[in-house]
Amino acid sequence: MLVLTRKLGESITIGDEIKVTIIEIKGKQVKVGVEAPQDTKVHREEVYQRIQEENRMAALISPIHLKKVGDFWKRIKKP
């Protein structure tokens, strides 16, 4: 991994079209601005990972689980 040290307000560029700027440093948090072409996906890694994990869990559900859920749903709807 390439490690660079930057000061507040300074940037790094990646390729010709991507620019990352340090916008704010507050305690342990760093606010980073990303300028990139419209079709470049920019995500905080943890969001991606959380959704992947959630999908993996969701893929394990069986109709039996869902049947129970369906019953719950009916009970809530028509108490």
Binding region for other proteins (CB under 8 A):
38-39, 43, 47-48, 50-59, 61-63, 65-70, 72-73, 75-76, 79
Write down the least CB distance from residue 42 to other proteins, Å. Answer: 9
Our CB check for other proteins shows the closer of 8 and 14 to be: 14
Identity of the residue, 29 or 62, whose beta carbon is nearer to other proteins in the bound complex? 62
Q: Measure CA of the first residue to CA of the last residue in the chain; give whole Å.
A: 58
Closer Cβ to other proteins, 25 or 66, answer by number: 66
Q: Give the C-alpha separation, 41 to 48, whole Å.
A: 11
CA dist., res. 11 & res. 14, Å (int):
10
Q: 55: which strand partners?
A: none
Is 20 within 8 Å of 14 (Cβ atoms)?
yes
